[in-house]
């Protein structure tokens, strides 16, 4: 895994611990410019990033709207949307899903 523009990484230190971000630009040999749909674009040291195998299709230093769309279109983004939707279900919605699975 190399530090590349468009590479998805996970923050492994600090108040954003565990957050998935995208490297949008490399500043120098120690720092990168990162962005995510729910955070402000900022710089971070490479030691605070854990690189993943996922790369998304964006241009260098994209606008926030383009970044959000690219992340939602990726397999990782779709998985997060489904996870968030399931977490927001109430008891009755989970019951309806259980009945639908039994019918099939």
For residue 46, give the DSSP letter: G
**For residue 53, what are its two tokens?**
């195998």
**For residue 54, what are its two tokens?**
């996922």
Mean pLDDT over residues 52-61, rounded?
Answer: 85
**Residue ranges covered by each domain of the chain:** 7-73
Query: Does residue 49 surpass a pLDDT of 80?
Result: yes
Among 1.20.1250.20, 2.30.30.30, 3.50.50.60, 3.20.20.70, what is the CATH number of 7-73?
A: 2.30.30.30
Mean pLDDT over residues 34-55, rounded?
Answer: 92
CA 103 to chain centre: 35
The pLDDT, as a whole number, for residue 60 is 78
**For residue 37, what are its two tokens?**
């749909």
Nearest-angstrom CA–CA distance, 50 and 18:
10
Mean pLDDT over residues 34-47, rounded?
Answer: 92
């Amino acid at each position: 895994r190399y530090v590349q523009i468009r590479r998805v990484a996970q923050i492994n230190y600090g108040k954003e611990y565990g957050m998935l971000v995208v490297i949008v630009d490399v500043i120098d040999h120690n720092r990168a410019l990162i962005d995510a749909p729910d955070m402000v674009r900022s710089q971070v040291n490479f030691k605070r990033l854990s690189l993943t195998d996922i790369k998304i299709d964006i241009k260098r230093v994209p606008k926030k709207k383009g970044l959000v769309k690219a992340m939602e279109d990726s397999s990782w983004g779709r998985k997060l949307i489904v996870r968030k939707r399931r977490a927001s279900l109430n008891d009755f919605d989970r019951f309806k899903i259980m009945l639908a699975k039994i019918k099939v």
